[in-house]
């Protein structure tokens, strides 16, 4: 669990940097150089924060998922049971993998990378909270709720 | 009593035609300082001469005479009559003179508020004065306080933080996009003073390579030589757009030199690397819709002027804060100046006590017989500390009254009580 939280934390930082990037980019593009513009860091800085947060956050996410499935083998007898939480975890992992690949291999940066990392984070948040609330499955901990 | 006087002219009080009469000759500084040193009525002196101001700062016990002498000498240097000169001069005395020099040093009195050069010029003027040995107790203190004020204003207010020239505004914007200009490449299209200034600023901020393009290749070569840059032909611009990070355009062309399709073509090759256009030309060189492309930013001359206007207004706001700092420091300096008037009396008092101690020790030496060196020391220390303890309260009292209007009465009383004015002050 711990590694997942560290990973999610780093990816949340990446998300915030991406939001700030889009705001700052918009300010510069529309030539609104006011208080927001002067308080936010430069585009290059925000892009770097986003990049490194994902670069370090992604391995934590990966390790977290692997340990989770190893634990499942111990506790439940199988690595993978196509539970909604597991499926969505895989989807968000694939999203981040795609983003990282684009950044490293294709040289994505700036605006596109920012938009993509926001989309990725929304998927991740849905996995983290939405799936438990809406879809059930053995990850939803509904048994913990008051009868 | 010694007074601090400031006579001068600035861009606000005098037209350039008069200011330039004095600014042309570099030896004028030494001339004025030598004159001030040799003049009986002037105790200390300082002379500041920049393209926007000519100022003298001096102390004198006979202000009237000193002022007339300084004005006469300077108008003589400028080759004008005193009367013609006087109308463009301002005269400040005492606290106001101190306030003025604080404002000047912290660039509140400059044509462009917050510009950093003036502090260096004032320091230079002070160095001249120390070398000519025309600065003394008061000016030394005043100038060091002025430097201190300038430093405080610089660090505690944002008075010089935002750019107020086109070229600096462009560099600042570039830094908001690229953060660090080190290793970035720039392309200069066309020529012109402002474009070259912007290019120079980019280079001094870390831009590592520059290319210069011009309709006529010879011209490009000539400009490229100025910056140690590479000259490229006009046809190569398309290729260069794929390579560089910052483009400055400043051509006399009536149509667009950079079109949307041209930039769009290189976007793929650029792989989302940001591209920043600084378009200084009128009419514009870069098609405005280029700004709509992703990762491409176009600023034309009006945009940059807009930035400057905002920054100017910001500086004005910061100037109010700076003024408060100046006022604070003026009050401190005023206090110090006032303690100066107590100093002669205190010194006289101490001298008198010391003379008494010396003569009494001499007189008692025979009666004390043969003392060891240590014993002799003890006797001396004993006498001195007794005397000092008696004098301590009167001295503290005088220092405490230094900024009260009743000070003179107290000084007078002290002198009488201790007989400080009599020549036979060594007592009985």
Q: What is the DSSP string of A132-144?
A: HHHT-STTS-GGG
- The answer to whether residues B77 and B36 touch, using CB atoms and an 8 Å cutoff, is no
Q: A106: which chain B residues are within 8 Å (Cβ-Cβ)?
A: 271
CA distance to partner chain B, nearest, from residue A45 (Å): 6
**Mind listing the pLDDT tens digit for each residue in B352-368?**
999 999 898 888 887 87
Chains A, B: CB contacts within 8 A come to 52
**B90-to-A7, A64, B10, B54 alpha-carbon distances in Å:** 69, 77, 9, 11
Nearest-CB residue to B178 (from A44, A107, A111): A44
Q: B306: which chain A residues are within 8 Å (Cβ-Cβ)?
A: 31, 33
On average, the pLDDT of chain B sits at 88
CA distance to partner chain A, nearest, from residue B297 (Å): 6
Statement: residue B423 has pLDDT above 50 = no
Chain A interface with B: residues with Cβ < 8 Å = 24, 28-29, 31, 33-34, 37, 41-45, 106-113
Q: What is the mean pLDDT of residues B79-91?
A: 81
pLDDT confidence tier of residue B331, bands split at 50, 70 and 90: very high
3-class DSSP assignment, residue B8: strand
Q: What is the mean pLDDT of residues B34-51?
A: 90
Taking each helix axis from N to C end, the angle separating B137-156 and B95-105, rounded to the nearest 10 degrees, works out to: 50
Report the percent of chain B where pLDDT is more than 70. Answer: 98
Q: Which residue of A has its CA nearest to B161?
A: A38
Statement: residue B426 has pLDDT above 80 = no
Q: A29: which chain B residues are within 8 Å (Cβ-Cβ)?
A: 291, 297
CA distance to partner chain B, nearest, from residue A42 (Å): 4
Nearest-CB residue to B272 (from A24, A41, A109): A109
Nearest-CB residue to A112 (from B177, B272, B299): B272
Interface test with A, best of B272, B277, B311, B314 (most A CBs within 10 A): B272
Residue A31: DSSP 8-state: T
- The answer to whether residues A60 and A24 touch, using CB atoms and an 8 Å cutoff, is no
Give the DSSP H/E element, type plus range, for residue B245: none
- The answer to whether residues B420 and B410 touch, using CB atoms and an 8 Å cutoff, is no
Task: Point out the residues of B that are catalytic.
Answer: 51
CA distance to partner chain B, nearest, from residue A122 (Å): 23
Nearest-CB residue to B177 (from A43, A106, A109): A43
Chain B interface with A: residues with Cβ < 8 Å = 173, 175-180, 271-274, 291, 294-295, 297, 299, 303, 306-307, 310
pLDDT, residue B117, reads 87
Nearest-CB residue to B176 (from A28, A108, A113): A28
The tokens of B134 are what?
């025309």
Q: Which residue of B has its CA nearest to A109?
A: B272
CB-based contacts of A45-48 (< 8 A; 24+ apart in sequence): A45/B179, A46/A17, A46/A18, A46/A20, A46/A21, A46/A114, A47/A17, A47/A21, A47/A109, A47/A110, A47/A113, A47/A114
Q: B291: which chain A residues are within 8 Å (Cβ-Cβ)?
A: 29
pLDDT confidence tier of residue A147, bands split at 50, 70 and 90: very low
Q: What is the mean pLDDT of residues A106-135?
A: 87
C-alpha–C-alpha distance, residues B85 and B75, integer Å: 6
Cβ of B173 within 8 Å of Cβ of A108? The answer is no
Q: B302: which chain A residues are within 8 Å (Cβ-Cβ)?
A: none
CA distance to partner chain A, nearest, from residue B280 (Å): 16
3-class DSSP assignment, residue B232: strand
pTM of the model: 0.69
Q: Which residue of B has its CA nearest to A33?
A: B307
Residue written as token pair 């491409």? B296
Report the percent of chain B where pLDDT is more than 90. Answer: 42
Q: Which residue of A has its CA nearest to B303?
A: A31
C-alpha–C-alpha distance, residues B353 and B425, integer Å: 10
Q: Which residue of B has its CA nearest to A28?
A: B297
Residue written as token pair 């969505």? A88
Q: A31: which chain B residues are within 8 Å (Cβ-Cβ)?
A: 299, 303, 306
CA distance to partner chain A, nearest, from residue B311 (Å): 10
Q: What is the mean pLDDT of residues A3-29?
A: 92
Of B282, B250, B426, B294, nearest to B354 by C-alpha is B426
Give the DSSP H/E element, type plus range, for residue B93: strand B90-93
Statement: residue B227 has pLDDT above 80 = yes
Residue ranges of the alpha helices (H) in B39-81?
63-78
DSSP string, B52-63: SEEEEEEEESSH
CA distance to partner chain A, nearest, from residue B101 (Å): 32
C-alpha–C-alpha distance, residues B2 and A59, integer Å: 76
Cβ of B180 within 8 Å of Cβ of A29? The answer is no
Statement: residue B428 has pLDDT above 60 = no
Phi, psi dihedral angles at A79 (to 5 degrees): -70, -35
Alpha-carbon torsion B350, B353, B357, B358, what sign?
A: positive
pLDDT confidence tier of residue B24, bands split at 50, 70 and 90: low
Nearest-CB residue to A44 (from B177, B271, B307): B177
Q: What is the mean pLDDT of residues B269-273?
A: 86
pLDDT, residue B179, reads 92
**Mind listing the pLDDT tens digit for each residue in A40-82?**
999 999 999 999 999 999 999 999 989 988 988 888 888 888 8
Interface test with A, best of B172, B178, B179 (most A CBs within 10 A): B179
pLDDT, residue A110, reads 87
Q: B177: which chain A residues are within 8 Å (Cβ-Cβ)?
A: 28, 42-44
Q: Which residue of B has its CA nearest to A42?
A: B176
């Amino acid at each position: 669990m711990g590694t997942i939280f560290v990973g999610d934390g780093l990816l949340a930082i990446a998300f915030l940097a991406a939001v700030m990037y889009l705001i700052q980019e918009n300010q510069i593009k529309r030539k609104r150089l006011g208080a927001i513009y002067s308080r936010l860091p430069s585009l290059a800085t925000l892009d770097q924060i986003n990049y490194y947060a994902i670069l370090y956050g992604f391995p934590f996410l990966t390790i977290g998922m692997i340990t989770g499935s190893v634990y499942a083998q111990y506790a439940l007898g199988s690595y993978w049971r196509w539970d909604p939480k597991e499926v969505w975890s895989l989807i968000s992992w694939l999203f981040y993998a795609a983003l990282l690949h684009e950044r490293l291999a294709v040289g994505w940066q700036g605006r596109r990378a920012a938009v993509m990392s926001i989309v990725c984070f929304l998927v991740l948040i849905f996995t983290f909270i939405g799936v438990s609330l809406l879809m059930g499955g053995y990850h939803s901990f509904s048994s913990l709720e008051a009868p | 009593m010694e007074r601090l006087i400031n006579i001068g002219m600035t861009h606000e009080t005098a037209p350039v035609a008069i200011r330039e009469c004095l600014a042309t000759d570099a030896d004028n500084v030494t001339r004025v300082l030598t004159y001030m040193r040799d003049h009986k009525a002037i105790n200390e002196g300082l002379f500041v001469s920049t393209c926007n101001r000519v100022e003298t700062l001096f102390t004198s016990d006979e202000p009237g005479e000193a002022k007339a002498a300084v004005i006469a000498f300077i108008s003589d240097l400028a080759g004008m009559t005193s009367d013609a000169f006087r109308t463009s001069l301002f005269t400040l005395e005492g606290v106001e003179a101190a306030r003025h020099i604080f404002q000047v040093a912290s660039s509140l009195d400059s044509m462009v508020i917050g510009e950093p050069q003036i502090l260096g010029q004032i320091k230079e003027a002070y160095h001249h004065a120390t070398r000519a040995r025309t600065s003394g107790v008061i000016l030394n203190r005043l100038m060091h306080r002025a430097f201190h004020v300038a430093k405080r204003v610089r660090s505690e207010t944002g008075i010089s933080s935002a750019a107020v020239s086109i070229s600096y505004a462009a560099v600042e914007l570039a830094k908001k996009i690229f953060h660090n200009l080190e290793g970035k490449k720039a392309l200069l299209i066309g020529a012109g003073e402002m474009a070259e200034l912007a290019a120079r600023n980019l280079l001094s901020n870390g831009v590592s390579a520059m290319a210069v393009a011009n309709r006529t290749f010879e011209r490009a070569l000539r400009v490229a030589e100025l910056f140690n840059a590479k000259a490229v032909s006009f046809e190569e611009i398309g290729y260069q757009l794929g390579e560089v990070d910052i483009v400055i355009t400043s051509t006399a062309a009536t149509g667009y030199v950079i079109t949307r399709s041209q930039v769009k073509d290189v976007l793929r090759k650029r792989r989302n690397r940001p591209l920043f256009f600084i378009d200084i030309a009128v009419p514009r060189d870069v098609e405005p819709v280029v700004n709509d492309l992703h990762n491409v930013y176009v600023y034309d001359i009006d945009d940059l002027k807009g930035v400057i206007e905002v920054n100017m207004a910001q500086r004005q706001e910061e100037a109010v804060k700076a003024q408060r700092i100046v006022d604070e420091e003026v009050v401190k300096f005023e206090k110090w100046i006032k303690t100066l008037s107590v100093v002669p009396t205190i010194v006289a008092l101490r001298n008198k006590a010391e003379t008494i101690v010396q003569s009494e020790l001499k007189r008692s030496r025979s009666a004390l017989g043969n003392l060891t060196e240590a014993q002799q020391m003890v006797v001396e220390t004993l006498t001195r500390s007794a005397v000092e303890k008696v004098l301590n309260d009167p001295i503290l009292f005088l220092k405490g009254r230094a900024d009260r209007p009743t000070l003179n009465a107290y000084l007078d009383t002290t002198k009488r009580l201790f007989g400080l004015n009599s020549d036979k002050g060594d007592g009985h």
